[in-house]
Amino acid sequence: MKSLWKLSLLFGMAMVLSGLAQAVDVKIGFLVKQPEEPWFQVETKFAQKCGADYGFEVIAIGVPDGERVLNAIDNIAANGAQGFVICTPDVRLGPGIVARAKANNLKLVTVDDRFIDASGKYMEEIPYVGMSAFNIGRQMGEALMDELQKRNWPIAEVGFLLTTYDELDTTRERTEGAVAAATEKGFPASQIYRAPIIGMMEIPTSLTAANVILTQYPNVKYWIVGGPNDNSVLGAVRALEGNNHPVANAIAVGINGTDCINELEKATPTSFYGSILGLAGVEGYKTSEMLYKWIKDGTSPQLDTRTVGRLITRENFRQVLKEEGMD
């Protein structure tokens, strides 16, 4: 009897120990569509910080297309991961990604770009953390209008060059927010010129898009410039420079605040005035934390979490980055 007790005690202890071992053995994937973009580098860095804080492993993988997404999901599963965070290269891949995650028994949290289903509706049942896109777009439009008013340019001589990326909801909402803010502050809708970006949102594709407008409206004297993110605005700034537009006759404001630091650090100012800094670090940390707690404790993550933005310029960016722990 005594030895039976001992045996069951030993067995119980072994169970507890193996439970503990399992608890620390959490692994997650962190999959992003554009790993070369500083936004996603900051996100990934903070995901890794979360892993270091809680003691779990983060496998970071760049997934620029659908095939690589599916391979990455299979790979992390084979490596013993229990879930992943993803910013998909195409939101319409949502149902396929969910199916692949289920087949591999992986939990999943989405970041930045929200999945849509076959009928074009958000997949609201999949946890999502992303920008409060319309409001952040509004902030961009307001920053442009505030600076425009300071410069006292006659509105009739100003064009609003807006690069757009309407196939993605978060980016469409941002540029629509900017249009709403500008028109509410009295900017004529007829002087807003949209430049749709074809392909990926990058500096060269945005430059090409902006050039179409600059060629169409060569007589505009002053430009205000916006777009869905920093690179799409930087492309437009480069296009203005290529067209020999005077630096002082344009005001450009981006979104992200992570991909324009080199620009703001330049010794000689360009037309890039500032950016609405989003919380890439918070998003990377939070999504990983949610997923970890879901895996470890079964805590269901919140389905829709939104982050805010804050204007940075050449004057304040160092200070703000420090305050946000992003320096």
Where do contacts with ligand FCA occur on this chain (CB under 6 A)? 37, 39, 87, 112-113, 131, 170, 201, 229, 256, 278
To the nearest whole angstrom, how small is the minimum distance from the Cβ of residue 211 to ligand FCA? 21
To the nearest whole angstrom, how small is the minimum distance from the Cβ of residue 248 to ligand FCA? 28
To the nearest whole angstrom, how small is the minimum distance from the Cβ of residue 91 to ligand FCA? 10
To the nearest whole angstrom, how small is the minimum distance from the Cβ of residue 171 to ligand FCA? 6
In the complex with ligand FCA, which residue's Cβ is closer, 256 or 270?
Answer: 256
To the nearest whole angstrom, how small is the minimum distance from the Cβ of residue 193 to ligand FCA? 22
In the complex with ligand FCA, which residue's Cβ is closer, 77 or 113?
Answer: 113
The dihedrals phi and psi of 271, each to the nearest 5 degrees, come to -75, -5
* Signed CA dihedral, 58, 61, 62, 68: sign only: negative
Taking the C-alpha atoms of residue 214 and residue 249, their distance in angstroms, rounded to an integer, is 14
To the nearest whole angstrom, how small is the minimum distance from the Cβ of residue 294 to ligand FCA? 22
In the complex with ligand FCA, which residue's Cβ is closer, 290 or 295?
Answer: 290
Identify the residue whose tokens are 């992570």.
258
In the complex with ligand FCA, which residue's Cβ is closer, 82 or 88?
Answer: 88
Helix (H, G, I), strand (E, B) or coil at 308: coil
In the complex with ligand FCA, which residue's Cβ is closer, 39 or 84?
Answer: 39
In the complex with ligand FCA, which residue's Cβ is closer, 114 or 245?
Answer: 114
To the nearest whole angstrom, how small is the minimum distance from the Cβ of residue 105 to ligand FCA? 27
Six token digits for residue 56: 């779990």
The dihedrals phi and psi of 294, each to the nearest 5 degrees, come to -65, -45
In the complex with ligand FCA, which residue's Cβ is closer, 177 or 278?
Answer: 278
User: DSSP letter string over 154-194?
Assistant: -GGGEEEEEEE-TTSHHHHHHHHHHHHHHHHTT--GGGEEE
Six token digits for residue 142: 């307001």
Taking the C-alpha atoms of residue 177 and residue 3, their distance in angstroms, rounded to an integer, is 73
**Please, what is the angle between helix 280-297 and helix 38-54, to 10°?**
40
The answer to whether the CB of 230 falls within 8 A of the CB of 257 is: yes
Strands 272-277 and 310-313: antiparallel
In the complex with ligand FCA, which residue's Cβ is closer, 257 or 301?
Answer: 257
Taking the C-alpha atoms of residue 316 and residue 310, their distance in angstroms, rounded to an integer, is 11
To the nearest whole angstrom, how small is the minimum distance from the Cβ of residue 231 to ligand FCA? 7
Instruction: Calculate the CA 228 to chain-centre distance.
Output: 10
In the complex with ligand FCA, which residue's Cβ is closer, 112 or 263?
Answer: 112
To the nearest whole angstrom, how small is the minimum distance from the Cβ of residue 92 to ligand FCA? 14
CB atoms within 10 A of CB 61: 19
The dihedrals phi and psi of 48, each to the nearest 5 degrees, come to -65, -35
